[in-house]
Chains A and B, each alone.
Chain A
Amino acid sequence: MEFFLVTALNSLSYGLLLFMLSSGLTLIFSMMGVLNFAHASFYMLGAYAAYQVGLFTGFWPALFIAPILVGAIGAFVERYGLRTVHKFGHVAELLFTFGLAYVIEEVVHLIWGRAPVDYRVPGSLDFTIFTIFTTQYPAYRAFMMIISISMLISLYLILTRTRIGLIVQASLTHPEMVEALGHNVPRVFMFVFAGGAALAGLAGVLGGNLFITEPGMAFAVGTIIFVVVVFGGMGSLPGAFVASLLIGAIQTFSVALDYSFLNLLQSVGLEIYKDSTFYGLASITLSQLAPVLPYLLLVLMLIFRPSGLMGKRET
């Protein structure tokens, strides 16, 4: 029970972090029809920016400054990069973001080196907030959840209750009509891209010190958020939300569970001999399988339900 509760809380905080990333990715996808390979790079930039800004100002101002910086970089990338490539079609756009991810990783090498940087949880949040049975739950994780949830609620309110959100939503579905009404649709796109990048940056600020801030972090999380977005249904925010929590839970739980197919067979009274060909295969534990599970889900989903959990259109 204790294990279950703690793991559930951890998977919730991780899932919310994933959603902060995938919500931006989903919005950008609905807008341009292109999956942004560099999205996780903005996450990494957020973590590094928070580290660098934090050296001068401390954690709290960095929490606000770093996402704004990353958002500005995002706006620049859209305006001077993606918009130039747009006329060459989707493949070129996809490959542009792919190359950009490469370049951003190398720039991070250039500025901060290849080793992890010392980006830590701030002292003011480094305490135990409550104790479940015997496990002390860190306050920073709780803080992370609060920030994510309040961020998501405000995103939801902006998108559904304000005039800006109205124009953004209309631009996603009917860009020509919105243009005819006198709005600058390319500029709307730029702001959505910047907003998505800023959200990813915020996720980086929060995740960078909880996990580890190093040049490989973009690559590690990048493919996972693709899985989330495709699994939830491309362009569907609710789908991305459900998928984020689900993938977060699968990843967190499977790493901690040491059961294998062998155990399952044993529990119903079947035994595989050690010299059997299938012994090796059957003795692979769930925790060993953990890195494969998300991709397995992705492939299965694309085969059987290409529109994803809640997607309306085929990817």
Chain B
Amino acid sequence: MMNFTKNNVGWVVLVVVFLVLPHVFTQSFALSLMTQMGIAIIFALSYNMLLGQVGLLSFGHAVYYGLGAFFTAHLINWIAAGVIWFPITLVPIFGGLCGMFFGFIFGIVTTRRPGTPFAMISLGIAEMVAASALMFTAFFGGEAGIDTNRTAGGAMLGISYGPQIQVYYLVVAWCIVSIVGMYAITRTPLGRMANAVRDNPERAKFVGYNPTRVRWMTMTLAGFFAGLAGSLYIINYEIVTFETLGILESGRVVLMAFIGGIGHFWGPIIGAVLVTFLQSALSNYTEAWLLYFGLLFLVIIMFSPGGIAGLIAKHDPVMKAGLLKRLLPSYMIVSATGAVMLLGFISIIEMIYHVESAISGNDPMALFGVMINPSTLNPWLVILLMFAVGTALFVKATRRVGQVWDELGPDLQSKGVI
């Protein structure tokens, strides 16, 4: 996976995947889901420019995303009214510039101190902007928000943005441009200095760089890509409300970046895809999806702070040494026992939800295709037993994995891959 960024193979694969996907999943549900994923990828990567690259933990990144969306909404309405002429295809640049402008403005006051003060001040600004959005109804449209019509500009070269597939390709195009752009930024002197400032601001200062300045510039750039994502958001949904720049949206991007892994450039891409998928897919099946989601987040923080990308990257040296097959048996046991545990756990949660809901509390329910009646004792006993046995075996299996890793250590060293 490390080769992903080293060779150009990774990039080509990425583009091909983007282009082939709509031919594989042709349902309209899948298409709109993939469009959302593309937007989320840009947003999560722009967030990681702050958290991953320069070490600023922001709880208000949706401010730039939402403001980009609102300004774009007004621009599109102007285009529709014939006030100005501007191709819809290039509208995201405008949204990006708006996000950049606000990143620049808020960056002046927020970037002086990293760590907790930055986290708090970003939270304060987010709350302030969200509350103001409800006050200035002329611009933000109050509770109802602002709606637009993306086809307003008329068709150009046969592209009207009426069909969803055209919006998908627009998002894909901007997504690729943004990924390449943000990756390129990590390779510039600014990107390198951002890492230095994150790791040791004092030393960065000694080398002659102003850490505040580096943070500020990074934040301005991150604002650009967040605003760009916001623009695509309004083109996709054609409506934006104050919630888009609210705390919950900011929280969602924190989850995406962290679940994916902030230590690797491609981590947030995984996170954005996974979180968007879970959000849409899980919420169709269960009311408890936010709970699973929060628990997934906690588990990742507690046991794999590098996120999913960190887990994958950990296996790089093993793969190079060709020792992956020694890990596989223990991994298979972990997956099997983990599946039993998870099945038990999910069943417990779903049964509680079912019993608690007043409408269907006493009726039988379908659980993984099996009809059971949670108002009787037996299903509870079976499920609890399953969960208990699954957990016990899972804990044992994870210990075994730890042992195998320990045994691998000397071999990896002798092969010179770590």
Interface residues of A (CB under 8 A from B): 33-35, 81, 84-85, 88, 90-92, 94-96, 98-100, 102-103, 106-107, 109-111, 113, 223, 226-227, 230, 234, 280, 284, 288-289, 291-292, 295-296, 298-299, 302-303, 306, 314-315
Nearest CB of A to B260, in Å? 13
Considering the complex, give the chain A residue whose CB is closest to the CB of B132: A292
Tell me the complex Cα distance, A128–B256, Å.
51
- In-complex Cβ contact of B127 among A113, A230, A295 (8 A): A295
Nearest CB of B to A202, in Å? 25
A85-B301, A110-B353, A284-B135 are known contacts. Are A298 and B120 too (CB-CB below 8 A)? yes
B204-228 contacts to A, CB under 8 A, are none
Contacts of B135 in A (CB 8 A): 284, 288-289, 292
A95, A280, A291 interface centre (most CB from chain B within 10 Å): A95
Contacts of A110 in B (CB 8 A): 288, 291, 349, 352-353, 356
B116, B125, B251, B297 interface centre (most CB from chain A within 10 Å): B116
Please, could you name 8 A-B residue pairs with CB atoms under 8 Å apart, sorted by A? A35-B120, A94-B116, A96-B301, A98-B251, A99-B301, A106-B290, A234-B116, A292-B131
CB of B117 within 8 Å of the partner chain: yes
CB of B37 within 8 Å of the partner chain: no
A292-B131, A292-B135 are known contacts. Are A96 and B302 too (CB-CB below 8 A)? yes
Across the interface, do B113 and A223 meet the contact criterion of CB distance under 8 Å? no
Tell me the complex Cα distance, A230–B124, Å.
10
- In-complex Cβ contact of B128 among A95, A113, A299 (8 A): A299
Across the interface, do B291 and A85 meet the contact criterion of CB distance under 8 Å? no
A103-B295, A110-B352 are known contacts. Are A85 and B288 too (CB-CB below 8 A)? no
Q: Besides A91-B57, A103-B295, A107-B291, 11 other CB < 8 A contacts?
A: A90-B116, A99-B298, A109-B291, A110-B353, A113-B357, A292-B128, A298-B124, A299-B124, A299-B125, A302-B109, A315-B116
- In-complex Cβ contact of A306 among B117, B134, B357 (8 A): B117
A98-B251, A314-B117 are known contacts. Are A103 and B123 too (CB-CB below 8 A)? no
Nearest CB of A to B90, in Å? 30
Tell me the complex Cα distance, A100–B295, Å.
8
CB of B119 within 8 Å of the partner chain: yes
Across the interface, do B302 and A84 meet the contact criterion of CB distance under 8 Å? yes
Contact with A along B253-269 (1 / 0, CB 8 A): 01100100000000000
Contacts of A81 in B (CB 8 A): 298, 302
CB of B157 within 8 Å of the partner chain: no
CB of B383 within 8 Å of the partner chain: no
Nearest CB of A to B112, in Å? 8
A100-B298, A284-B135, A299-B125 are known contacts. Are A315 and B117 too (CB-CB below 8 A)? yes
Considering the complex, give the chain B residue whose CB is closest to the CB of A84: B302
Across the interface, do A99 and B297 meet the contact criterion of CB distance under 8 Å? yes
Tell me the complex Cα distance, A92–B298, Å.
10
Tell me the complex Cα distance, A34–B119, Å.
11
Tell me the complex Cα distance, A303–B107, Å.
11
Nearest CB of A to B327, in Å? 23
Considering the complex, give the chain A residue whose CB is closest to the CB of B108: A303
- In-complex Cβ contact of B119 among A84, A85, A94 (8 A): A94
Considering the complex, give the chain A residue whose CB is closest to the CB of B138: A280
Across the interface, do B356 and A111 meet the contact criterion of CB distance under 8 Å? yes
Tell me the complex Cα distance, A20–B291, Å.
29
Tell me the complex Cα distance, A302–B122, Å.
10
Tell me the complex Cα distance, A107–B115, Å.
30
Contacts of B119 in A (CB 8 A): 35, 94
Tell me the complex Cα distance, A303–B115, Å.
15
CB of B121 within 8 Å of the partner chain: yes
CB of B305 within 8 Å of the partner chain: yes
Across the interface, do B298 and A315 meet the contact criterion of CB distance under 8 Å? no
Considering the complex, give the chain A residue whose CB is closest to the CB of B287: A109
Contact with A along B267-298 (1 / 0, CB 8 A): 00000000000000000000010110111011
A84-B302, A296-B128, A303-B109 are known contacts. Are A106 and B57 too (CB-CB below 8 A)? no
Across the interface, do A295 and B116 meet the contact criterion of CB distance under 8 Å? no
Nearest CB of B to A246, in Å? 16
A91-B57, A306-B117 are known contacts. Are A226 and B123 too (CB-CB below 8 A)? yes
B106-154 contacts to A, CB under 8 A, are 109, 112-113, 115-117, 119-121, 123-125, 127-128, 131-132, 134-136, 138
